[in-house]
Amino acid sequence: MSSATDHAEESNYLNAKPGLMSWLTTLDHKRIGVMYLISILTAFFIAGMLAMLVRTELLTPGRTIVDPDTYNQFFTLHGAIMVFMFIIPGIPAALGNFVLPLMLGAKDVAFPRLNLMSWYLWVFGGVFAVVSMVTGAVDTGWTFYTPYSTDTSTSVINMTLGVFILGFASIFTGINFVVTIHKLRPAGMTWWRMPLMLWGLYATAIIQVLATPVIGITMLLLIAERTLGVGIFDPALGGDPLLYQHFFWFYSHPAVYIMILPAMGVISELISVHSRKTIFGYQAIALSSVAIAAFSFIVWGHHMFTAMSPMANMVFSALTFSVSIPSAVKTFNWLATLYRGHIRLNTPMLYALSFLFLFGIGGLTGLFLGTLAVDVHLHDTYFVVAHFHYVMFGGTVIAFLGGLHHWWPKMFGRMYNEGLAKLACFLIFIGFNITFMSQFIMGSLGMPRRYYDYIDAYGSYHVWSSIGAYIMAVGFFLTAGYLIHSLIAGKKAVENPWGAATLEWRTASPPIEHNFHETPDANYPYDYSVNRFNPDTGNYDHIGAPAQEDDDRAVGFHGHGLESTT
């Protein structure tokens, strides 16, 4: 049976209701996911172009294209847009919104209206923040450190209000995902049979709900200080500037895990599906996501090693190292999954392998920064810039791209040009390494971050770094090109082109408006005996439930009652 052809004439979520208004008032998680996807990619494009301007200015010491104030606004905008408008909502709100209910075999998220509200808040907060940053020339850096941010004449208040609103968009998505995962799992899907993508999104959602209010309150305090002169952070008013940094990082460090945990979920799916082998250490991966979420709340102090007392530094350094263990465990699990698999080197898999390479470097270089004595030298240098780009870009953005290529056929019912996709992946990978490997070296040589001008000793590294950035840009424009082309003229996608065993592949590509004709039975999500390749259609046809025996072994909790359905 090939449902792809059976459903050929049936309407899908993209064409079920026509007109712009049907999109702007939709409660369909898939449409909201697509709207989020378009929105965050727009933000990514703007912030990416700002990165190009930053790298171009840094081609030569002194003035290359702009004056110092403009340069300071460039990197502030680049950081703030990337963090608050692209990376944080990136995987959960765009890909997560689309696949989460499908993976659960559900019709929608638990609160569809809240979901739409989240998108509107994102648009409102995002436009508000960007407009005020551009017109108000905000130059504080994305961290808004006091007392600089309370003293500067630029429109910090509007910008922070924008961040405050964006925070609520994030909280709404988080609440929705927590409730959906608790309440809408289908018969047969116990916690230990959830796809690891859902574990990643679940851990992320918990952090979003618990940590985001802190940045909201911090931004309000900042506004209170600027408008009412309440002395909270500014020492001239009797405040404490370091207090701001504690508040800020109490959110913004967990936020780093809001960015990386869903990426780890994506990678778990990609590696298992494209090796056609069950994930190794399912429980270890699931629990390490929860462990990372928990640890994420107690390591914020490592952003202030050159400002705090030795005692506080010691405690935060020790706690910081604790995060490295679950990350290392995950990496080894993914490697072990590749062992004796049947590896298909398509674009999603190339991105997953790039992730292992780049996130490996990002994670390992964290050891230098967690080590107190070494961090003192590296703190606030390009070494830190390179480290977090390896984690945020090499980790999250690469996983996002992998996930986008993996779920693209499901989202839009079209295949993209595989050759061009591989070429773009290669360009992005090479360009990225050239850009940020140079930054590791100049950072350990002492180049401070957020510098408009620099001494000649760092000259050659800056030129290399900019060249790498241009190569990445070519890769991204190529990606945009073939993805847009696929929407117009791409080959029609089958229901399940990769042979994945998670539930989103058990409906048409693109899915019908209500996702499934009948709720599918959940099986262990990494048992690939449930489908069989059909050489005539190129689809993996679903052939039935797996043997129960394998299922029990998979969850590893046989006899403990945990495998019973809820």
Q: Of 456-515, which residues contact other proteins (CB under 8 A)?
A: 456-460, 462-464, 499
The least distance separating other proteins from the CB of residue 275, rounded to whole angstroms, comes to: 6
The only residue of 60, 155, 519, 537 in contact with other proteins, by rule CB under 8 A: 60
- Match 């004449």 to its residue by tokens: 153
Selected range binding other proteins among 12-20, 125-133, 138-146, 261-269, rule: CB under 8 A: 138-146
Angle formed by the axes of helices 382-391 and 418-444, to 10°? 150
Dump strand ranges (E) for 44-187.
none
CB within 8 A of 265, min separation 6: which ones? 91, 195, 196, 197, 198, 199, 200, 201, 289
Measured distance CA(257)–CA(299) in Å, rounded: 11
The least distance separating other proteins from the CB of residue 324, rounded to whole angstroms, comes to: 6
CB within 8 A of 353, min separation 6: which ones? none
What DSSP line would sit under 428-440, residue for residue? Answer: HHHHHHHHHHHHH
The only residue of 17, 49, 68, 123 in contact with other proteins, by rule CB under 8 A: 68
The only residue of 6, 10, 151, 418 in contact with other proteins, by rule CB under 8 A: 151
The only residue of 325, 480, 484, 562 in contact with other proteins, by rule CB under 8 A: 325
The least distance separating other proteins from the CB of residue 277, rounded to whole angstroms, comes to: 3
The only residue of 23, 120, 148, 426 in contact with other proteins, by rule CB under 8 A: 148
Measured distance CA(566)–CA(412) in Å, rounded: 33
Selected range binding other proteins among 85-93, 162-170, 258-266, 350-358, rule: CB under 8 A: 350-358
First to last CA, the chain: 31
Q: Which of residues 374-413 bind other proteins (CB under 8 A)?
A: 374-377, 379-381
Q: Which of residues 80-119 bind other proteins (CB under 8 A)?
A: none
The least distance separating other proteins from the CB of residue 287, rounded to whole angstroms, comes to: 11
Which helix (DSSP H) or strand (DSSP E) does residue 531 occupy? strand 531-534
Selected range binding other proteins among 15-23, 36-44, 272-280, 503-511, rule: CB under 8 A: 272-280
55 makes contact with other proteins (CB under 8 A): no
562 makes contact with other proteins (CB under 8 A): no
The least distance separating other proteins from the CB of residue 404, rounded to whole angstroms, comes to: 22
The least distance separating other proteins from the CB of residue 234, rounded to whole angstroms, comes to: 8
Contact indicator for 83, 51 with CB cutoff of 8 Å: no
- Match 């082309």 to its residue by tokens: 485
306 makes contact with other proteins (CB under 8 A): yes
Measured distance CA(423)–CA(429) in Å, rounded: 10
Q: How many CB atoms lie within 10 A of CB 375?
A: 20
Both structure tokens of 56: 């171009």
192 makes contact with other proteins (CB under 8 A): no
Measured distance CA(163)–CA(529) in Å, rounded: 47
Contact indicator for 427, 478 with CB cutoff of 8 Å: yes
Selected range binding other proteins among 5-13, 28-36, 80-88, 144-152, rule: CB under 8 A: 144-152
**In the complex with other proteins, which residue's Cβ is closer, 127 or 376?**
376
**In the complex with other proteins, which residue's Cβ is closer, 155 or 324?**
324
Q: Which of residues 6-35 bind other proteins (CB under 8 A)?
A: none
